[in-house]
């Protein structure tokens, strides 16, 4: 159809061409049949009302149809309103006008118009075609016919669109109602979850408080346990002292018995006319002040743990006179604790000065000797005589 129209216009274009040169036509120079589609299609109603109000100097009170008819009547001749409409159309469709200027023949102009109709952009193309210098009466008439049919199709399309719009409106209302229900349900669920979170938060705070209380209770119990362990150590130490006192009492009784026997021997020796020198010597030295031979200190490693520093040389002389090798550890006062274990492992006999030793070293010595069965002499008083009595006690235990 487009090719047939093009051929038709090619045969008649030279006969009907307006000889106007290169000047574009104005709105009032168009045919009366063109004013209606130009005003109705190329100028929106709100813009038309504003332009009429500008031309009248006051707001137009008439309805849209009355304004449309009045604008068509004013467009038939040059007037203030037609000039205002001309200026607005030129500004509004300046891009289309520039695009259509490339057409130098009626056939080229017709091709641009048909292309615009095919693309659906007809408002600017319609104005640019009608006012183009190469626009003939036949092209103008054809454009008006096509625009008339396009308006009918637009009206039908509008009705279809309106029906579709009403259907979409109903669907939208349904969707809005469903969305409202979903939002209400979502809000209810959110409130429920917030309540649950609040309860869980309170429970968490309570659990943390209980945990802190339990930790505090554990700390108190640990303190009590340490106190009880200290008391237990003191009780064991007291019990050990009582055992030592009992052993000392038994030893005193034995010495008293031995003293009585010695006195009896003295009396017996007097009867046999013993010399006074021998009697006095026996009374002055009832027991020898040397380490018992049964202890066998020769070539033995003797470790003394604790004791006063001033007495250490005396301890050394006493042990070395008995033939032993003397070693000393201060019991944790200055020497390192890790050296005590090595010293205990190398010793054959351990002497523990309980009065001058740290609490930790005392328990280490006691636990090591009990575990290994190594002989250990506990001496409470850091004197030479106390050490001798302790060695005598360990001698008696070995003999038994």
Category of 295 on φ-ψ map: left (φ > 0), alpha (ψ -120 to 50) or beta: alpha
Q: Which helix (H) or strand (E) holds 379?
A: strand 376-379
What is the SS3 assignment for 23? coil
- Could you give the CA distance from residue 309 to residue 353 in angstroms, rounded to a whole number? 12
**Given the DSSP bridges, would you call strands 349-353 and 301-305 parallel, antiparallel or unpaired?**
parallel
Measure the CA dihedral 314/318/321/322, to 10°.
-160
| Bridge partners, residue 328, by sequence | 304
Per-residue pLDDT of the chain (400 residues; tens, 9 = 90+): 444 444 444 434 444 444 456 789 999 999 888 899 988 888 998 999 999 999 888 888 888 889 889 989 988 899 899 899 999 999 999 998 899 999 899 999 899 999 988 887 788 888 988 989 988 889 888 889 888 888 777 765 556 566 677 778 888 988 998 999 999 999 999 999 999 999 999 999 999 998 898 888 898 888 888 888 777 767 777 777 777 777 777 777 777 787 787 888 788 877 765 444 444 443 444 444 444 444 456 678 888 888 778 888 888 888 888 788 888 888 765 556 667 888 888 888 888 887 778 888 888 888 989 898 888 888 877 777 777 777 777 665 665 5
Residue 352 DSSP code? E
Tell whether the torsion through CA atoms of 331, 328, 337 and 365 is positive or negative.
negative
Q: What's the number of CA atoms in the CB half-sphere (13 Å) around residue 104?
A: 0
| Bridge partners, residue 305, by sequence | 329, 352
Note the pLDDT of residue 307. Answer: 78
Note the pLDDT of residue 193. Answer: 94
Residues 6+ apart with CB under 8 A from 348: 300, 301, 302, 374, 375
Residue 29 DSSP code? G
Note the pLDDT of residue 14. Answer: 42
Q: CATH classification of 294-399 is 1.20.1540.10, yes or no?
A: no
Note the pLDDT of residue 313. Answer: 86
DSSP 298-345: TT-EEEEES--GGGHHHHHHHHHHTTPEEEEE-SSSSS-THHHHHHHH
Note the pLDDT of residue 286. Answer: 43
Question: Which residue spans of the chain are classified as CATH 3.40.50.10190?
Answer: 294-399
Note the pLDDT of residue 183. Answer: 92
Neighbours of 171 (CB within 10 A): 10
Helix axes 123-130, 106-119, angle to 10 degrees: 170
Note the pLDDT of residue 205. Answer: 92
Note the pLDDT of residue 191. Answer: 93
Residue 288 DSSP code? -
Residue 350 DSSP code? E
Task: Please check whether residue 17 is in contact with residue 106, taking contact to mean a CB–CB distance below 8 angstroms.
Answer: yes
Tokens of 154: 């637009």
Task: Please check whether residue 134 is in contact with residue 159, taking contact to mean a CB–CB distance below 8 angstroms.
Answer: no
- Could you give the CA distance from residue 208 to residue 193 in angstroms, rounded to a whole number? 22
């Amino acid at each position: 159809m487009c090719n047939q129209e093009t051929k038709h216009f090619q045969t008649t274009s030279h006969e009907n061409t307006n000889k106007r040169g290169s000047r574009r036509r104005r709105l009032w120079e168009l045919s009366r049949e063109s004013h209606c589609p130009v005003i109705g299609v190329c100028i929106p109603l709100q813009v038309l009302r504003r332009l009429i109000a500008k031309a009248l100097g006051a707001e137009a009170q008439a309805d849209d149809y009355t304004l449309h008819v009045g604008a068509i009547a004013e467009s038939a001749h040059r007037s203030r309103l037609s000039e205002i409409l001309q200026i607005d159309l030129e500004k509004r469709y300046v891009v289309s006008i520039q695009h259509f200027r490339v057409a130098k023949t009626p056939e080229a102009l017709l091709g641009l118009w048909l292309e615009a109709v095919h693309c659906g952009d007809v408002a600017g193309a319609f104005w640019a075609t009608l006012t183009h210098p190469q626009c003939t009466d036949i092209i103008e008439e054809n454009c008006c016919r096509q625009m008339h049919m396009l308006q009918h199709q637009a009206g039908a399309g509008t009705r279809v669109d309106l029906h579709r719009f009403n259907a979409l409106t109903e669907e939208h209302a349904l969707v809005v109602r469903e969305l409202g229900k979903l939002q209400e349900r979502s809000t209810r669920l959110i409130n429920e979850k917030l309540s649950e979170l609040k309860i869980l938060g309170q429970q968490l705070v309570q659990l943390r408080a209980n945990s802190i209380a339990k930790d505090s209770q554990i700390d108190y119990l640990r303190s009590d346990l340490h106190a009880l362990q200290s008391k237990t150590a003191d009780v064991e130490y007291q019990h050990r002292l009582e055992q030592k006192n009992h052993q000392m009492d038994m030893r005193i009784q034995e010495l008293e018995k031995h003293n009585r026997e010695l006195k009896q021997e003295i009396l017996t020796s007097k009867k046999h006319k013993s010399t006074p020198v021998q009697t006095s010597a026996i009374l002055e030295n009832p027991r020898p002040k040397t380490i018992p031979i049964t202890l066998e200190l020769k070539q033995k490693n003797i470790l003394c743990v604790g004791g006063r520093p001033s007495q250490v040389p005396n301890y050394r002389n006493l042990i070395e006179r008995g033939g032993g090798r003397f070693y000393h550890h201060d019991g944790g006062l200055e020497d390192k604790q890790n050296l005590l274990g090595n010293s205990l492992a190398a010793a054959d006999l351990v002497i523990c000065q309980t009065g001058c030793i740290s609490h930790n070293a005392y328990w280490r010595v006691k636990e090591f000797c009990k575990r290994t069965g190594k002989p250990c002499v506990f001496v409470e008083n850091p004197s030479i005589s106390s050490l001798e009595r302790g060695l005598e006690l360990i001698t008696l235990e070995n003999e038994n």
